[in-house]
Structure 1
């Protein structure tokens, strides 16, 4: 450790090595015995349940309407001219669209505990662009003022510094109030167990998807004869590619397959339970990631509502709060809202029955119901058709 790093460590600063793919929040995922010493976010996504949960949350939030409202007293109106609203409706000044940037941002927070977007402003200080910053290229330091400095590398040796107010920093739950910590690292034993079950399944299939057996021979074999027989047998009949080949034995030899072990018989159930464990970490109902083992049509519909209410809504609130903190001035009348109403509408019969009750009780009028459904006012529609 260099002098600067020792001083930073003594002063309580956190520093990550840009040359290393390991994020500190992943150190707890590694095991000391028989397990890789490094597990990165990319390696974790090799687990299909992790990838599916991250995709389900990040994609859903990236593609819902992002609306900017201006509050005036007790009323609020949508502000289509606000820079955030314009960026959300059109393509950003990069190769990424708004959904791309938001999806990458949220996925980074789900996998590493932190997601970062650079705020780009024009010469007059107005918001002009949002750029996603991969977290593995970021080194964070706490300044003497208490603010965070984000040193961003480009992977080629160049560094530039961004300060709070110049970034949107999305955090998962934090231990120190500064940086988020990945929930996968908080449940390292669970992640390790799922990976070990998958590894066992791979080896089981690689060895022919069947247990080994016994070859009985009359008399006694020498050590060299046993090694030769074992080598020839494995070469011709071992592995999934050799499954089903005809076995020919001579010299009075007989083959007796061993019975499948209870551990191998329960392998499928173990892997299915691993999917449930990962879903539990992310708060995603299993049917959302196509885990239908215990699914019915009734609980599938409820799973969507549960997903929106208890998983998407908390993340949406965190995103709205981060935009308010970093992009809207203190005391501003503007606010961002991620419209999750599409997830909360329920089935058509239930939704329209709720609309009828709202109209009958005077809570809404027909024009407001049309607005909720995303339709134009009837007068405008009639005029356009005419």
Structure 2
């Protein structure tokens, strides 16, 4: 790894096979945009957290296909990692949350697949993308050169190479079909503008003099008098903690109010729009990240369904496909699935209404519903539900 690679990686820039040309860089505002600076924006942090934690909260199962259908393969090594944790340091939700968050911020999430002598997976070790340099081999396969810069495995700086079949590689949308490209690099100006607005807002409070205005005197102040005046104003009135303090004037000095507020400068309105832009960048409905500017109860419910269907659903499909290809054996009849019905856990009425419809139409049995809810089966639960009796025709009495 070159010196340029090492320096750039320490500042959060991702490395790609073609160099640094596609990386998050400097926005027109002059602000650097990378995974670290972007997460200083609460909207970016909220979007990444919302997507990654939602997927991490979903139940995951390894299914085995059979002649009579499919069953959960609880003895499979991958299923054991889901239950016990993929490595000694992370639980399964921690690992999935890290993998998805890395992909959202850097365009790629990588984990080493550790196997035993029989080839069964025994560990999934997270590898920060900052440590990785990717090479395309003459065979057409990818090689991942990992230089451990810091972490629990020690900061030895030694280089080791992992081949394509030895890693689990989750990608965001790719330009070359090989590596993902981060959304921060695709929308550098959007994020850079948000950083600039946040900095401007902070500077307004840090450097503001309240009440703001102009001091006027007859004649000209000497350099010492001007210095004393500036220092006195800075000591007494600069900063949010000194907001509203009384300004004492002397020597014929006059104060002229200058009304300029964040609203007049459109800073606050611009920051609100920046939140919407970043939510759009990550395809997260604004109410999911606590932006209730245009919120009603109805569109909040719709936003939750939209989030599950169009944001979480595609990411879950990518995860399932990558686990099936990278971790499960080729030609295996097993598959990895995340249970999206977990999103219904918080909607009590909708969940039980769905169970009722499933039982009534012989899609699920009552004991299967109890199993879904985490309850033990009961023999009497398998009795068929009572069928509504057909209405009887009214009896017509013959005329006398």
TM-score by length of 1: 0.87
d(CA) in 1 for partners of 2:136 and 2:123?
A: 26
Name the counterpart of 1:12: none
Q: Give the corresponding residue for 2:146.
A: 152
Q: Which residue of 1 aligns with 2:366?
A: 366
| 1:178 corresponds to | 178
The equivalent residue for 1:194 is 194
What root-mean-square deviation, in Å, do the aligned CA atoms of Structure 1 and Structure 2 show? 2.6
Question: Residue deviations 1:172-216, cap 9 Å, x none?
Answer: 000011110001211111111111110111011112475731112
Q: Which moved more, 1:133-142 or 1:248-257?
A: 248-257
Secondary structure at 1:256's aligned position in 2?
A: strand
Name the structure 1 match of 2:30. Answer: 35
The answer to whether 1:59 aligns with 2:53 is yes
* Residue 387 (structure 2) aligns with: none
Q: 1:378 to 1:153 in 2, by over 3 A?
A: same
Shift of 1:325: 1.0
Structure 2: how far apart are the matches of 1:209 and 1:94?
A: 54
Counterpart of 1:260 in structure 2 is: 260
Q: How does 1:269-284 map to 2 (within 5 A)?
A: 269-284=269-284
2-structure distance, mates of 1:29, 1:20: 11
Report the Cα offset of residue 131 of structure 1.
0.4
Q: Could you give the per-residue CA deviations for residues 149-183 of structure 1, whole angstroms, max 9, x where no partner exists?
A: 00111113201110011000000000011110001
Residue 18 of structure 1 aligns to a residue in which SS?
Answer: helix
Return 5+ residue gaps in structure 1 as ranges: 6-14
Please list, as runs of the form range in 1=range in 2, the aligned pairs for 1:90-169 lying within 5 A after superposition. Answer: 90-155=84-149, 156-169=156-169
Structure 2 unaligned blocks of 5 or more = 15-19, 150-155, 383-400
Question: Within the alignment, does 1:50 sit opposite 2:38 as a pair?
Answer: no
Equivalent-residue separation in structure 2 for 1:227 and 1:148 (angstroms): 64
Moved more, 291-300 or 312-321: 291-300
After superposition, residues 66-81 of structure 1 pair within 5 angstroms as: 66-73=60-67, 75-81=69-75
Aligned counterparts, 1:219-230, within 5 A: 219-222=219-222, 225-230=225-230
Contact 1:305-1:344 within 8 A present in 2 as well: no
Q: Aligned with 2:119: secondary structure? A: coil
Deviations 1:28-82 (Å, cap 9, x if unpaired)? 44136x524x433122111111111111111121221110000124611000000
TM-score by length of 2: 0.84
State the shift of 1:273 in Å: 1.5
Distance 1:376 1:40 in 2: 50
Larger radius of gyration: 2
Per mean C-alpha deviation after superposition, the further-off stretch among 281-290 and 102-111 is 281-290
Deviations 1:71-103 (A, max 9, x none): 124611000000000010013442222222221
